[in-house]
Amino acid sequence: MIKQTMITAAALLCAAFLFDVLPASAADEYDAAVTHAGRPAEDLKRDALDQPAQMLRLAGIKTGMKVADVLAGDGYYSELLSYVVGPKGQVLMINNLAFDNWSQPALQNRLAGNRLTNVTHETANLNDLKLAPASLDAVLLVKVYHDLYWVDATPESPWPKIDVSGVLDQLSKALKPGGVLLLIDHSSKAGHGKSDAGELHRIEEAFAVKDFAAHGFKVVAKSDVLRRADDSRDLISYKGPGAGKTDRFVLVFHKT
């Protein structure tokens, strides 16, 4: 009886020890990317809102992949991708000229001194991305898909008309069979389709699913991590009272 009691106590002690160390040992490459030394202070402020480790984990981004971060802005996700894909992987940080201009000086600071050696910044015409066929393992479109449907001819912020169908065809052809596309965007109201893309910078999830399906993409995963039930979906997504408070849908597609 004494022997059995000693064995039980030892087992409980081991269990307690494992309970203490499991959270630390359970950290993976996505958590490591978020906690990587040297990330800009502004990026750290975004992490709680954007939950990037969960997003990249859901998409299954792995070491050695070649990934395109399309309309990457100042490269928040591009830097995280750099750490996840590692030295044998490659990240294409793709902007058009307008996004490059809007993203300064953060973009220039991020790339200064060649600090992300596996990241290549490209300023491209979205209607002619010049991506080689079957050259990518994954594509990210983070809060920018709606911008493909936006048109703004004002001199202060010119935004060219984009052939959205052509862009999605380019991305489909550039992805390898079974390749991944991670789509995150600000939700518009049900039934609004693409109509809020310009004024509110939002788009409807159901419309997105059909749009991508028409270009050879199939939904394989979703996440509600970025959902906001309190979002009325009638405010501009990126400024004013709606900024940082939008309901966002998260979809992972595979190229069929």
Contacts of 245 (CB under 8 A, 6+ apart): 228, 230, 231, 235
**Percentage of the chain lying above the pLDDT 90 cut:** 85
pLDDT of 88 over the 80 cut: yes
What the chain holds in terms of domains, given with CATH numbers, is 27-255 (3.40.50.150)
What's residue 6's pLDDT? 37
What's residue 198's pLDDT? 92
pLDDT of 20 over the 90 cut: no
Cα–Cα distance list, 49 to 54, 196, 238 (Å): 11, 22, 13
pLDDT, average across residues 185-203: 97
Is the peptide bond prior to 105 cis by the omega test (within 30 degrees of 0)? yes
Contacts of 46 (CB under 8 A, 6+ apart): 52, 76
User: pLDDT-derived band of residue 157, with 50, 70 and 90 as boundaries?
Assistant: low
Using CB atoms within 10 Å of the CB of residue 72, give its burial: 0 to 12 exposed, 13 to 18 middle, 19+ buried: buried
